[in-house]
Amino acid sequence: MQWTSLLAFATLAPFANALLRFPCSQLVTQRFDPLVTPGSVSPHVHQIVGGPPLFRRKCSADYDNSFDVAMDPSIDYAKTSTCTTCRFKEDASNYWTAVLYFKNPNGSFIRVPQMANQFTGSPNGGMTVYYIQPPNNVKVTSFPKGFRMIVGNPFLRNATGIDLNGNIGKAVTNRCFGANFGSDASWPHPGTGPLDTYELPKKACAGGIRSNIFFPSCWNGKDLNPADHASHMAYPVGTLPRDGHFFMGGTCPSTHPVRMPLLFMEIVWDTRQFNNMWPTDGSQPFVFSQGDPTGFGQHADYVFGWDGDSLQRAMDTCTDLSGVPENCRALTTLSDSQINSCKQQVRVDEVVEGRYLNSLPGCNAPQPGPAQATMVANCNALSSYIGMPTGTAGPTVTSTPTSTTVVNPTTSSTTVVTPTAPAGPAVPKYGQCGGTGWTGSTQCVSGSSFSTESLTFHTGGNLAFAIAA
C-alpha cells in the first residue's frame, strides 16, 4: 500500500491497526518448496525470502548446516540462522511464492523482474511483509514455534464458487498500478479496491502489478502444520465491511478461536518493460511459474521462524500505526546491505531467470483453465538438486527481455548428483531423503538415518488435492 496514504487513512478512519511492515529481500529463486515437496525438487519455481538455514535436513549422509530442501521442525531456525533477508534480525522465518514470467508472443518465457515496494528502502526484489493487528489494540497471539501455513491453490484456474466480495475472493489479488504506484492514493487498502482483481489484470498496467496476499488470521489453537497446511487457519467472520476483515477486524469463528497477527505480503512485479509487447489479440501475457496465466492459482507459504518470543513482544509493545520498522524498539533492524547480502545459492541446476527460456522450468506448460490444472504425467524435468551451486544466486531486478540464448531447462543433464543406491530405511513418498522429483523418494541414501518431518503430510499422496482441500 502506499505509505503516506495508509498514514492518512489511519488517522482519518474510525479504525486503526497497529502493524509491522518491512521488506524481505530475495534469498533464492529455484524449484524448491520444502513445505509441500520436502526433499524433492518442486514442480515449479518459487522465490524464497527470510532466513537461510531453513532447508536443513536430517535424512542425509552429507548433512550440512547451511541449506536443504526439507525442513525439520525440531530445529529452531532463529538460533541457527546466520543472517536473514528480512528487516528484523529476529525474523528467520521463510516466506515464499510463485514467480511471474512474461510469455513473449514468439512463445519464449522470461522472468518478470521485481521492484522495491514504496517506502521499504532498497531491498533486492523479494516482498514486503506485514504483521497486522486487529483494530482497537485487540491482543493477538504470536504464531508458535513450528507453525507453518499455506494460502491459495496453485491448481486453481477459475473463481467458480468463490465469493469475489468475500474474504476468500479478496485474500489473494493483483492490483493494476498506474504510473509511480498510482491508484493507491484513492484506495489504500489492498485487495479491496476497484483495481484489485483476483485474476491477473487484463490490461497493461503502467506502474506494474502488485500481488496482495492475505493469510487467514484465526487459528484452531491446536495444529502447527496439518496435512493440508491450511485447515488449522480460517478467516474472520461477520458482515464484510468495505475494506474487508483484513483491516476491520471481524470475529474469529468458534472452530478457530485464536486471533493471530494478520500476515500479509505484497510483491511488486515490474511488468513495465513488457507493456508494449502484448499479443496482438489483446490477451494478457503473464503467467505464474506453475503454468497459471489466469492468476487464480497464486499461492504463498509461511514457515514461522522468529527468535524466541520476539514476535509476541513486538505485537504487545509495537503498536505504532505507521508500521515503520525503526519505531519497533522491541526488535533489531538490519540495513539494506545486510539483508541484501544474505543469500542462498541455487541448488537446482537449471536456468530460471535472466534470459528467455523455451519453456517454464519444471513441466508447466500454461494451463489456462477453466478446468483445474493437472500435474503433467511423466515429467522429464530436472529432478535432482546438487551439493554445490552452479546457478545464479538471487534475483536480478535489472534483467531485460532482450537477452540472448534460449535454453531449454528440461534437457539439462549435466553434473547433478543423484542419491546413490538406496540402502537406508524406507520412508514414504515425499520423504526427506533426497528425491527423484514428483515421484518422490522412497528410501534414504546409504549411511543416513531418517528423521520425521511431517509424516501425516507425506502419506497424503496427491499433493495437488491436498492443497485444494
Ligand X SMILES: *[C@@H]1O[C@H](CO)[C@@H](O)[C@H](O)[C@H]1NC(C)=O
Q: Site residues (CB under 6 A) for ligand X?
A: 104, 106-108, 156, 158, 160, 356, 370-372, 401, 406
> Nearest-CB residue to ligand X?
372
The CB density around residue 185, as the number of other CB atoms within 10 Å, is 13
Q: Which is nearer to ligand X, 401 or 428 (CB)?
A: 401
Residue 420, burial from CB neighbour count under 10 angstroms (0-12, 13-18, 19+): exposed
Q: Which is nearer to ligand X, 207 or 297 (CB)?
A: 297
Spatial separation of the C-alpha atoms in residues 317 and 329, rounded to whole Å = 8
Least distance to ligand X, CB of residue 358, Å:
7
Strand partners of residue 97? 47, 300
Q: Which is nearer to ligand X, 110 or 268 (CB)?
A: 110
Q: Which is nearer to ligand X, 55 or 274 (CB)?
A: 274
Spatial separation of the C-alpha atoms in residues 317 and 304, rounded to whole Å = 20
Least distance to ligand X, CB of residue 285, Å:
12
Least distance to ligand X, CB of residue 120, Å:
31
Least distance to ligand X, CB of residue 402, Å:
6
Least distance to ligand X, CB of residue 109, Å:
9
Contact criterion met (CB below 8 Å) for 46 and 29: yes
User: Which one, of 162, 304, 305, lies nearest residue 233 by Cα?
Assistant: 304
Q: Which is nearer to ligand X, 314 or 467 (CB)?
A: 467
User: Which one, of 318, 395, 298, 289, lies nearest residue 28 by Cα?
Assistant: 395
Q: Which is nearer to ligand X, 321 or 407 (CB)?
A: 407
Residue 137: what residue type? Answer: N
Least distance to ligand X, CB of residue 351, Å:
13
User: Which one, of 130, 197, 203, lies nearest residue 165 by Cα?
Assistant: 197
Q: Which is nearer to ligand X, 270 or 453 (CB)?
A: 270
Least distance to ligand X, CB of residue 160, Å:
4
Q: Which is nearer to ligand X, 335 or 408 (CB)?
A: 408
Q: Which is nearer to ligand X, 371 or 423 (CB)?
A: 371
Least distance to ligand X, CB of residue 433, Å:
32
Least distance to ligand X, CB of residue 105, Å:
8
Least distance to ligand X, CB of residue 104, Å:
5
Residue recorded with cell 535489472: 398
Q: Which is nearer to ligand X, 108 or 390 (CB)?
A: 108
